[in-house]
Chains A and B, each alone.
Chain A
Amino acid sequence: NAGVTQTPKFQVLKTGQSMTLQCAQDMNHEYMSWYRQDPGMGLRLIHYSVGAGITDQGEVPNGYNVSRSTTEDFPLRLLSAAPSQTSVYFCASSYSGTAASTDTQYFGPGTRLTVL
């Protein structure tokens, strides 16, 4: 099992450019989510999905779009990049998305994004 994979590992964008961060998992997990990690702050939830075709907003969704056409893939799209979106982005997956669940949440290696 490759677990959770993310591409690219690093990316530099100019303000206004768009791009897609890729995330895939091979554990047949229904729940997938995107977080951003900024210095001095805890991970913050951007968007999540409880299964193919179902997505919802997290804590900081503005400026980002997601879709879930398959169980395996959950791409994150930046529509018009802004310097405030400079961050490290992590994709995660788990069998269940319920907070009360004790299922292990697996994180990808992250994408470090810089917006100039």
Chain B
Amino acid sequence: KNQVEQSPQSLIILEGKNCTLQCNYTVSPFSNLRWYKQDTGRGPVSLTIMTFSENTKSNGRYTATLDADTKQSSLHITASQLSDSASYICVVAGGGNKLTFGTGTQLKVEL
């Protein structure tokens, strides 16, 4: 069964600190892995998309890594800001032309 597991479920950090969110998947065959940011009451917004051959990709203060051998990905947020407070969703494409969504990590950045 295709699954995407994210950890932690929720996280609180102080503004200016860094944090790393984890994503483990069992989707096979693998096509690509996506990270989305979803603000409360809004639709998800794409942050990065990585294929099998890419092991790191950045979008401003967001850096995603991919280890296709261990089927793990991480999203690192540098110098967090209050506006980073959101749910971060890992999505894996593959397994029969499907997208499998994780349940998200809820991040809160506090002063």
Contacts and interface: CB of A to CB of B under 8 A. Distances in A.
Interface string A95-116: 0001110101111111000000
User: How many residues of A sit at the interface, in one of the four size bands?
Assistant: 20 to 34
A98 B43 contact: no
Contacts, number: 50
Contact of B43 (A41, A104, A109): A109
Contact of A110 (B41, B89, B93, B104): B41
A21 interface: no
Contact of A104 (B49, B51, B100): B49
Interface of A: 4, 40-45, 90, 92, 98-100, 102, 104-110
Give me the 5 closest cross-chain CB pairs, A-B, nearest first.
A42-B101, A107-B43, A99-B93, A100-B31, A43-B101
